[in-house]
């Protein structure tokens, strides 16, 4: 389960934003799709199985909507904002970059 929200656009499509636990900080994922169910299906098809959107607590900002609409895949991510809502200056990444990178340092078993 993840915190997030959505915004319905004038053309009928939606932008869904989700804060997902990943590494210590987590990531903010944006998906542009025809509807909310289809947006979540796109994430599940990439291997993110336990993704649900309940409510609209953290909808995408206008800047986030612009970023995802201008990306050819319509699926981007970056480090999630901290508890104060402050995000480090970071560009948006395609989802492929998140799925390729290992989730933080792995401690060796002794």
Kindly give the confidence (pLDDT) of every residue in the chain, 110 residues in length, as a single tens digit, with 9 standing for 90 and above. 468 899 999 999 999 999 888 777 788 999 999 999 999 999 899 888 778 888 888 899 999 999 999 999 899 998 887 666 666 678 888 988 877 766 555 444 44
pTM for this model (two decimals): 0.81
98 φ, ψ to 5°? -70, -40
Burial 16-47 (b: 16+ CB within 10 A, else e): bbbbbebeeebbbbbbbbeebeebbebbeeee
> How many angstroms separate the CA atoms of 92 and 87, rounded?
12
Please list, in sequence order, all residues whose beta carbon lies within 8 angstroms of the beta carbon of residue 45, skipping any fewer than 6 positions away.
none
Q: Pick the closest to residue 92 from 68, 73, 69, 72 (CA basis).
A: 68
């Amino acid at each position: 389960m993840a915190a997030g929200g959505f915004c319905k656009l004038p053309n009928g499509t939606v932008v869904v934003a989700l804060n997902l636990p990943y590494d210590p900080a987590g990531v903010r994922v944006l998906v542009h799709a025809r509807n909310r169910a289809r947006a979540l299906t796109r994430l599940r098809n990439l291997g993110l199985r336990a993704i649900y959107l309940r409510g609209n607590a953290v909808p995408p900002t206008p800047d986030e909507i612009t970023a995802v609409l201008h990306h050819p895949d319509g699926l981007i991510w970056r480090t999630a904002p901290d508890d104060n809502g402050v995000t480090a200056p970071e560009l948006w990444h395609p989802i492929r970059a998140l799925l390729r990178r290992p989730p933080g340092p792995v401690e060796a078993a002794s």
